[in-house]
Amino acid sequence: DQQVKQNSPSLSVQEGRISILNCDYTNSMFDYFLWYKKYPAEGPTFLISISSIKDKNEDGRFTVFLNKSAKHLSLHIVPSQPGDSAVYFCAASGINSGNTPLVFGKGTRLSVIA
Amino acid sequence: KAGVTQTPRYLIKTRGQQVTLSCSPISGHRSVSWYQQTPGQGLQFLFEYFSETQRNKGNFPGRFSGRQFSNSRSEMNVSTLELGDSALYLCASSLVAGGEFNYGYTFGSGTRLTVV
């Protein structure tokens, strides 16, 4: 039973264009969502997060959108750069449900082509 | 400040052996979580410790165990290793249980375990 789903294993985007990574979740108790970025041989690093009381959070080139009714979130990277090439993990937690551990999706490998 | 330190970085073990992995969290962090990453399966939650107590446990067999010491350092143990246990094992720490509100966890670089 996968509670956090990233249905696209990979994505290729031209440098300078927008990258859109998608994530769906099934557990309605999730109220906090995060995106992590992972390079090979390194641990995931935090990128951006959003609380369920918001529908958008922006940090520089990165914007996360949350659609609670659809249980869907997306990460937009504009403009995409070759250094953004990595695996991106979506994660969810129930902060107000007793601090449940982060549940991760399987990841989407983003390749930004110069 | 020093990050999350995992040792060793790489490990090769034989099927049937047991292994112990170590994690030193960021100074002051009391929560340590362990995740297993395998190709195609993403990060799967193993367990979380907070102040020496296991708070949560994932859906892994009893061969996987862990503990946390009074200095917040944590170890995980896998007994009777199977080929399918080959994976990257990631440790993550945070000040509070369940992760920090703003950024969740800080991860270490992981221990790459290969079972042959």
Q: What is the pLDDT of residues A47-91, one digit of tens each?
A: 999 999 999 999 999 999 999 999 999 999 999 999 999 999 999
| B97 contacts on A by Cβ (under 8 Å) | 99
Q: What is the pLDDT of residues B79-108, one digit of tens each?
A: 999 999 999 999 999 887 766 666 778 999
Instruction: For A12-69, give the secondary structure using H, E and C.
Output: EEECCCCEEEEEEECCCCCCEEEEEEECCCCCCEEEEEEECCCCEEEECCEEEEEECC
- pLDDT attached to residue B102: 67
* pLDDT surpasses 80 at A8: yes
Q: What proportion of chain A, given as a percentage, has pLDDT over 90? A: 79
Q: Tokens for A43, please give them.
A: 């641990």
Low-confidence ranges of chain B (pLDDT < 70): 1, 98-102
* pLDDT surpasses 70 at A99: no
Q: Any chain B CB within 8 A of the CB of A107? A: yes
Give the burial class of A9: count Cβ atoms within 10 A of its Cβ; 0-12 exposed, 13-18 middle, 19 or more buried: exposed
- pLDDT attached to residue B2: 74
Instruction: Tell me if A102 and B105 make a contact (CB, 8 A cut-off).
Output: yes
Q: Under DSSP, is residue B55 helix (H, G, I), strand (E, B) or coil?
A: strand
- pLDDT attached to residue B101: 65
Instruction: Tell me if B109 and A104 make a contact (CB, 8 A cut-off).
Output: no
- pLDDT attached to residue B41: 83
The C-alpha atoms of residue A61 and residue A85 are separated, in whole angstroms, by 14
Stretch A92-113: mean pLDDT, rounded?
85
Residues 45-84 of A with CB under 8 A from B: 45-46, 49, 51
For residues B84 and B78, the answer to whether their CB atoms sit within 8 Å is: no
- pLDDT attached to residue B27: 93
Cα distances from A27 to residues A71, A103, A104, B42, in angstroms, run 8, 10, 12, 18
Which among A91, A103, A106 is the nearest to B41, CB-wise? A106
What letter does residue B75 receive in the DSSP assignment?
A: E
Q: What is the pLDDT of residues A11-58, one digit of tens each?
A: 999 999 999 999 999 998 898 999 999 998 889 999 999 999 999 999
| B23 contacts on A by Cβ (under 8 Å) | none
